[in-house]
């Protein structure tokens, strides 16, 4: 499987490492040999080698020079840009791990659709294009006979879309409520333990759980984006602009409320709720006091969890600590394996 990888940041790098590490398993269990034929960044150059890039040597080069290769050309042909690589290279799988900007998801969407248009299978960890319009990309993939998978885009490595696709198949998902923002959840737990909001945020930053600008997470927008994607993928809802979603984050939360919830045996959590109703799908994101019987009340620290309500199975709860680049890269690996199995007519899956 010839892989073209766009984005060599935290996730892209971890994906290369995990594909190398799992090479024996990929070969022996699934009959796949993953070979990186192209890797692109925005500002640190692009590399390609039809015979397969030596990832170890590339990592060494990157750590000594800060670059992967020559800068993308401006009109010249010395080094291809990511767009040119998508359009012109020979590859089997396009992996899009570029930065997410919800305000401008058009660029990653154009990468994804550029690959799909050529009939290439595409997997991504990028939420932006899914939020912008999942169904359009899904239909475009189908029309071009290609697969489009995105397990890594929501909840890192915790099985979510693949779980719904494989384990809930035949069931209707009526609602889905989840603790989906690990930054917020980590901070809430520290506040229950006695930390102030500012100290908890500082700690989350130190441990790498909070971005340099955590506003998107703490004001609930990240949870809203995920909820909107879930509504589109699992319930067929149309995309909605962020301003049309009822969103409240944890940035105004009072310690008193957290302690009251804890004393009653439950917990206050930032809950994303997606519910099917007669008039369509309703999405809310807000801090909620959950009773002890709700499994989401036991989702602690930098972990996430989702409670599905289905027509046939009732409630199903999935939780995990699958956050961070390595776990996210594992979700990409899971998608890679699914693509490989699908191309072989299901053998090995």
Query: Which residue ranges make up the site for ligand NAP (CB under 6 A)?
Result: 6-12, 40-44, 82, 97-100, 107, 125-127, 152, 156, 324-325, 328
Shorter beta-carbon distance to ligand NAP: residue 95 or 253: 95
Output the CA torsion sign for 217, 223, 225, 226: positive
Shorter beta-carbon distance to ligand NAP: residue 43 or 312: 43
Q: Smallest distance, Å, CB 196 to ligand NAP?
A: 26
CB of 266 closer than 8 Å to CB of 294: yes
CB of 217 closer than 8 Å to CB of 181: yes
DSSP assignment letter at 41: -
Q: Smallest distance, Å, CB 158 to ligand NAP?
A: 11
Q: Smallest distance, Å, CB 292 to ligand NAP?
A: 30
Residue nearest to ligand NAP (CB): 9
Q: Smallest distance, Å, CB 315 to ligand NAP?
A: 26
Shorter beta-carbon distance to ligand NAP: residue 30 or 150: 150
Residue 92 burial by Cβ neighbours in a 10 Å radius (0-12, 13-18, 19+): middle
Q: Smallest distance, Å, CB 213 to ligand NAP?
A: 13
Shorter beta-carbon distance to ligand NAP: residue 10 or 310: 10
Angle between helix axes 127-143 and 221-235 (nearest 10 degrees) is: 20
| Pairing state between β 173-179 and 267-277 | antiparallel
Residues in the chain, total? 349
Shorter beta-carbon distance to ligand NAP: residue 43 or 293: 43
Shorter beta-carbon distance to ligand NAP: residue 159 or 266: 159
Q: Smallest distance, Å, CB 8 to ligand NAP?
A: 4
> What Cα–Cα distance (Å) separates residue 263 from each residue in 183, 188, 252, 292?
23, 15, 20, 11
Angle between helix axes 23-30 and 325-343 (nearest 10 degrees) is: 30
């Amino acid at each position: 499987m010839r892989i073209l990888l766009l984005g060599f940041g935290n996730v892209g790098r971890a994906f290369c490492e995990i594909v190398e590490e799992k090479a024996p398993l990929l070969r022996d269990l699934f009959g796949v040999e993953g070979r990186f034929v192209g890797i692109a960044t925005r500002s640190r150059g692009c590399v390609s080698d039809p015979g397969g890039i030596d990832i170890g040597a590339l990592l060494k080069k990157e750590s000594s020079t800060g670059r992967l290769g020559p800068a993308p050309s401006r009109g010249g042909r010395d080094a291809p840009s990511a767009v040119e690589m998508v359009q012109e290279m020979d590859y089997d799988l396009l992996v899009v791990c570029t930065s997410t900007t919800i305000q401008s998801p058009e660029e990653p969407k154009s990468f994804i659709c550029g690959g799909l248009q050529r009939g290439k299978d595409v997997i991504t960890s990028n939420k932006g294009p899914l939020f912008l319009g999942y169904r359009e990309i899904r239909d475009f993939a189908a029309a071009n006979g290609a697969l489009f998978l995105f397990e890594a885009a929501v909840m890192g490595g915790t099985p979510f879309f693949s779980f719904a696709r494989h384990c809930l198949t035949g069931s209707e998902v009526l609602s889905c409520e989840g603790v989906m923002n690990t930054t917020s959840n980590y901070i809430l737990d520290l506040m229950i333990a006695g930390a102030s909001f500012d100290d908890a945020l500082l700690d989350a930053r130190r441990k790498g759980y909070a971005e340099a600008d955590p506003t998107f997470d703490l004001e609930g927008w990240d949870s809203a984006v995920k909820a909107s994607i879930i509504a589109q993928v699992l319930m067929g809802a149309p995309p909605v602009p962020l301003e049309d979603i009822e969103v409240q984050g944890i940035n105004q939360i009072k310690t008193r409320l957290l302690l009251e919830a804890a004393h009653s045996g439950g917990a206050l959590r930032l809950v994303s709720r997606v519910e099917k109703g007669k008039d369509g799908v309703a999405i809310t994101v807000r801090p909620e006091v959950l009773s002890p019987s709700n499994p989401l009340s036991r989702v602690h620290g930098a972990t996430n969890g989702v409670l599905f309500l289905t027509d046939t199975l009732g409630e199903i709860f999935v939780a995990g600590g699958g956050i961070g680049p390595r776990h996210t890269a594992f979700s990409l690996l899971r998608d890679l394996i699914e693509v490989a199995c699908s191309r072989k007519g299901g053998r090995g899956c």
